[in-house]
Chain A
């Protein structure tokens, strides 16, 4: 080896591999190094989703639109469920937006580890990239559906308040909820294939305990904080507050949601990380 090569060699990054034990660090720095992979996996998911579909991206709009239609007819018109003095279609659609973002991202993330088992067995990268990219993939649909919402707001002549500045926070909260649940489910699914069957049920169940077809104001005031422990309740009411300007005094409820998500997310990260080292052997 020449002197030059030797000095090069000392500058090379050094990796140590040894059995890990006890608590593992999150290695967020490493995750950052792999941001391009994160980008490409998300891009792949989006790209592949609408290939060979007849309606393509129209699906992103059709799903919330049709659901809104059904909700409006059955819950709004026939069951006469109150909608906090907002036109019912707008009331439902505003809630369906974050809901679909959450439901889609959660189920994608929940299945992501099993779906990517070939990758996991053949290549090293921080495994967190997989559920995170699955969650981010839901954003494109969300943006498309959001355009429709803007149109509806013009139609109903609803003007948002400054609360709209907080909208990104609520979007983040929805994504964090999806990621938190997705982390738990995807890590569990590596070991227990039941998760695949649990997901549809979980999504449906969750839909009913979230104020989408009905307003949270139906829930007695003293129970609202407890109700807010469902993070999606906070997200949905946050969306309505930010976009439709209805102040239902849901502050404490939204706070409860934020706390619940944080706990769920930290737990999910820890669980995922503790199983990460065995993924390639078990999956």
Chain B
């Protein structure tokens, strides 16, 4: 007997390319119809627009109470799959059987209205997410407490800070009580404390026997919440297994693409970023680095007109969206803040070897002017991996260790003699 909460069989979804011109004007259609009325619609469907399979032949089962993660690079089809499961869009082929009520959380705060108060939005958003009025009333106090917005209940949410707004939105969603919960990337919001609160709440939800499907780039969250994970690659199911293995495969094989950005010349901008990538010290473009191997972030930019007070910067963050560092090219030579002459430049930021912990990192580069403040470029370069080989913890204990950095640090230590005063007294008391 089939008792899966969710049974997905050979699901595929085809999209028409050229989505930007997907809505036409009536005139175009009329003209087309006027020219050849007998094939007005057919022509367009078959020839004009090439199609692409955003998802192809996806099959999997999810048991009741299971928490399933879905990972994959951008455009792999994760969100499309979630949209099909939540019935927002239809599959082109295949079938899905779902046992239980489905609640989907593809965006935090869907349907929030800025003019309405916090109280009003709780009811509105609850209804949009599929809660009954009595249900919302019952959970109202809990939602308000979770969001920590008691004092602002009767303020229009347009006056909320973005943090408050997100907290309220998540609070409503977190109190949704369906048998099956579909969640997309909503944990990437709010400050760290609130993110952890959300993760705990998700964990509670899953421990009460609910089925959860979670799409995320946040490998930390996936690790903590989901024992099992799917890996999507170009619309196909590349892997289905224990999260540990799937995440490792995702990272090791660098299924995430390229990690190099190039931009065409922009003669009208005074200064313009042309190329950025991660590389070995010898300037070979690469995305996977050994722990004990240094890596460089290379940025090429073009100065079209003399410009002063500009800096090229590099930002580094973990895939959990925690910033590791920000650095500018004027840090090591302040004269770079002076006038830059036209020309094509390459600059290279070297990150030390045996320093970043194993894991995946994201690189952002950009060019800013300090005053008047202006951002000329801000580009996501992509990700790179530090492989978990020869790190201190692996070498000593064979296990991985938490943290963003894992440098070899010096510990000074010696044995104390029996009569030495040690730390019995607080050194602060000796001040006067």
| Given A40-B128, A281-B15: A19 and B91 interface contact (C-beta under 8 Å) | yes
In the complex, whether B179 has a CB less than 8 A from a CB of chain A is yes
In the complex, A19→B209 CA distance in Å? 30
**Contact yes or no, A119 B110, CB < 8 A:** yes
Complex contact B26–A123 (CB within 8 A): no
Chain A residues within an 8 Å CB radius of B128 = 37, 40, 119, 123, 125
Interface size of A as a range: 35 or more
Q: Does B412 contact A (CB under 8 A)?
A: no
Give B427 Cβ to nearest chain A Cβ, in Å. Answer: 58
| In contact, A282 and B22 (Cβ under 8 angstroms) | yes
Q: Is B133 an interface residue (CB 8 A)?
A: yes
Contact partners of A13 in chain B: CB under 8 A: 99-101
Separation of A118 and B106 alpha carbons in the complex (Å):
11
A39 to B3 CA separation, bound complex (whole angstroms): 35
In the complex formed, the residue of A with least CB distance to B22 is: A282
Q: Is B88 an interface residue (CB 8 A)?
A: yes
| Contact with B111, one of A18, A51, A118, A282 (Cβ below 8 angstroms) | A118
Contact of B97 among A14, A125, A192 (CB under 8 A): A14
Q: Give CA–CA (A12, B91) in the complex, Å.
A: 23
- Residues of A within 8 Å of B197, CB to CB, are none
A61 to B385, CA, bound (A): 66
25 intermolecular pairs with C-beta atoms under 8 Å apart: A1-B3, A9-B3, A12-B99, A13-B99, A13-B101, A15-B87, A15-B97, A17-B84, A17-B91, A18-B91, A18-B96, A19-B92, A19-B94, A40-B123, A41-B127, A43-B124, A44-B120, A48-B113, A48-B115, A52-B115, A119-B111, A191-B22, A278-B90, A280-B83, A283-B23
- B161 contacts partner chain A, Cβ-Cβ < 8 Å: no
Q: Closest Cβ of chain B: how far from A15's Cβ, in Å?
A: 4
A-B residue pairs, 8 tightest by C-beta = A40-B127, A17-B96, A124-B87, A18-B95, A12-B100, A15-B98, A194-B26, A192-B26
When C-beta atoms are compared, the residue in chain B nearest to A45 turns out to be B113
Which residue in chain A gives the minimum CB-CB distance to B9?
A18
For chain B, what secondary structure do more than half of its interface residues adopt (helix, strand, loop), or is it mixed? Answer: loop
CB distance from A194 to the nearest CB of B (A): 4
A280 touches B96 (CB 8 A): no
Chain A, Cβ-Cβ closest to B64: A9
Decide yes or no whether B43 CB sits under 8 A from chain A: no
Interface residues of B in 69-106 (CB under 8 A from A): 83-102, 104, 106
Instruction: Please give me the residue from chain A that is nearest to B93 by CB atom.
Output: A19
Q: How far is the CA of A39 from the CA of B22 in the complex (A)?
A: 32
Shortest distance in angstroms between B117's beta carbon and chain A's nearest beta carbon? 10
Q: Are A123 and B88 in contact (CB under 8 A)?
A: yes
Instruction: Chain A residues near B397: list those with CB within 8 A.
Output: none
Q: Residue B116 at the A interface, CB < 8 A?
A: yes
A residues less than 8 Å from B64 (CB atoms)? 1, 5, 9
With the chains together, A70 CA to B156 CA distance in Å? 38
Bound: A121/B22 CA distance, A:
15
Q: Is A277 an interface residue (CB 8 A)?
A: yes
A18 touches B133 (CB 8 A): no
Report Cα–Cα, A192/B106, bound state, in Å. Answer: 27
Task: Give every chain B residue within 8 A of A41 (Cβ-Cβ).
Answer: 124, 127
Tell me, yes or no, whether B415 is within 8 Å of chain A by CB: no
Question: In the complex, which residues of chain A have a beta carbon less than 8 angstroms from the beta carbon of B98?
Answer: 14-17
Distance from A46 Cβ to chain B, minimum over Cβ atoms (Å): 11
In the assembled complex, the CB of A134 is this many whole angstroms from the nearest CB of chain B, namely 15
